Amino acid sequence: MEQQIVDAMAAKAQQTIASNIYMSLATSSLDGKPWISPVFFAYDDRYNLFWVSDKEALHSRLIRINPQVAIVMFNSQAREGEGDGVYFEASACELSDISEIKHAMATLGGRVTQDIFKVKRIEEVTADGAWRIYKAIPRIVSVLSDGEYVNGQYVDKRVVVSLDTNQ
């Protein structure tokens, strides 16, 4: 595929990420029992994804035992056949390093608009706090490209893209 087309797809992926505030986070148990949750998110300049969740939420507990996650962002209001999605295969973790927590707090603080959801003190996401901050580090990012017809049926295709703006 031409580099210009791949670059345009990466730019579209970046726009989709920027225009969404929720992502669908898929987690699973070690024996493969799946769970999916919509979570409010923020991202940094490396496209690491951050969110705050109850440390006892099922997706939080599952991340502690199985850090492999899948994530999708999309416009659920798009008309049929016009939707764009960004798909992530990622490793997720609960943040415990104070400098990483501070970075995530600043990143999240730039997107959260309602005071009730803002992390105001580090103690809210450590020790006895009910919340924790989680980070997903993308390994593979893909977007939909032109599909093809197989036996008369349209089949979507995905293309792996790089979100790295320094390439």
At 111-124, the pLDDT tens digits run 999 999 999 999 99
Instruction: Collapse the DSSP code of 19 into the 3-class scheme (helix H, G, I; strand E, B; otherwise coil) and give the result.
Output: helix
- pLDDT band with cut points at 50, 70 and 90 for residue 167: very low
Lowest mean pLDDT among 10-14, 49-53, 129-133: 10-14
Mean pLDDT of 52-58: 98
At 73-111, the pLDDT tens digits run 998 888 887 778 999 999 999 999 999 999 999 999 999
pLDDT of residue 120: 95
Q: What are phi and psi of 70, to 5 degrees?
A: -125, 145
For residue 1, pLDDT over 70 is answered with no
Between 89 and 155, name the one with better pLDDT. 89
| Strand 68-74, strand 22-28: pairing | antiparallel
At 136-145, the pLDDT tens digits run 999 999 998 8
Closest CA relative to residue 118, chosen from 134, 101, 106, 130: 106
Between 66 and 157, name the one with better pLDDT. 66
The domains of the chain are located at: 3-161
Which helix or strand (DSSP H or E) is residue 114 part of? Answer: none
| pTM for the model | 0.92
What percent of the chain is predicted at pLDDT more than 70?
A: 98
Instruction: Collapse the DSSP code of 124 into the 3-class scheme (helix H, G, I; strand E, B; otherwise coil) and give the result.
Output: helix
Cβ atoms of residues 83 and 122 within 8 Å: no
CATH code for the domain defined by 3-161: 2.30.110.10
